[in-house]
Amino acid sequence: MIAFIIRRALLAIPTLIFISFISFVIIQLPPGDYITAYAAELRHQGEYITEAQEAAMRAQYGLNDPMVIQYWRWISNIIFHGDFGYSLQWNAPVSSLIWDRLAITLAISTLSLVFTWIIAIPVGVYSATRQYSVLDYVFTVFGFLGKGVPDFLLALILMWVSFVYLNLNVGGLFSPQFQSAPWSVAKVIDLLQHIWIPLVVLATGGAAGLIRVMRANMLDELGKPYVETAYAQGLSEGRVVWGYPVRVALNPFISTVGWALPALFSGDIITAVVLNLPTTGPLLLQALKMQDMYLAGSFILVLSVFTVIGTLISDVLLAWFDPRIRYA
């Protein structure tokens, strides 16, 4: 296991270097740069800046330097000083913009992930052990609907139902009077009134797909000889099902840890925009639209780090559950 972990960790280093460089290059591929997008935004608002002002701003931010020099300046500051650069659009350090929204993003995404697993695992096991029952068909329909309905559409429907029938204003995470208010019992209650829609939306889509995966894996395992042997030894159904095939069927859940970590950081961007959530996703989208290279590049770099770490954790957990993977 130690050799396996070391081998995977060493492979992660060149992977991160390659991803960071490619991401920085891709961000700058569209025509123009941040100053171009900024000038266009000003023109849209009826304001103008001269070409001399544009040139001065490019020189100030180092946008005239070759791309390789810009990349080295950015990545070296991150490695040696922990400085992610300065957001041109927000006129603030990138690190403060990211970490200010990270706590809310992690809270929402972690809760939705937990709810997803709480729903998907027992429902998938029940559907497999009660194949073709009424509830199995119900869960199958739920799975198809959950995968077929986009998250943002479900968010819009729930917002409409909450506003029309429950008399709740659920846009954002807080009501206007609690936006800047200190924490109190009333603010927590207001948060709970708003946060349930993001949790339901994010958990529904994830649970719908994982239910089908869990059911299919369980059906494959229930027909194998070791399960029949366990029943023949007189073990109860609960002990047989949860003690043997469920452990094997959980492999897809373990392998998705590599996707879960970056998802915890970014969240569902479209859903966050629709629900007006103060998470990291909408900030990343705005940075890409405005070609704010340091902010967008830092986001993508952190997502890459989370992805590599998550993949490493998935590999280690899978190797622990299944020793054959250690030799892959």
Extents of the domains making up the chain: 102-291
Question: What's the pLDDT tens digit per position in 43-89?
Answer: 888 888 888 888 888 888 788 888 888 888 888 888 888 888 888 77
* pLDDT greater than 70 at residue 265: no
- Structure tokens given for 66: 């070759």
Greater pLDDT, 322 or 318: 318
The DSSP secondary-structure symbol of 223 reads T
CATH class label, 102-291: mainly alpha
The DSSP secondary-structure symbol of 177 reads G
Average pLDDT over residues 157-176: 79
- What pTM did the predictor assign? 0.71
* pLDDT greater than 80 at residue 94: yes
* pLDDT greater than 80 at residue 320: no
Q: Is 250 helix (H, G, I), strand (E, B) or coil?
A: coil
Alpha-carbon span 124 to 101, nearest angstrom: 34
Q: Hey, which bits of the chain come out as E strands?
A: 86-87, 92-93
What confidence tier does 134 reach under pLDDT thresholds 50, 70, 90?
Answer: very high
3-state secondary structure 41-91: HHHHCCCCCCHHHHHHHHHHHCCCCCHHHHHHHHHHHHHHHCCCCEECCCC
Whole-number pLDDT of residue 234 = 84
Greater pLDDT, 205 or 118: 118
Whole-number pLDDT of residue 312 = 79
Q: Hey, which bits of 83-138 come out as E strands?
A: 86-87, 92-93
* pLDDT greater than 80 at residue 135: yes
Alpha-carbon span 123 to 318, nearest angstrom: 23
* pLDDT greater than 60 at residue 267: no
- Across the chain, mean pLDDT equals 81
The DSSP secondary-structure symbol of 268 reads -
Average pLDDT over residues 267-278: 77
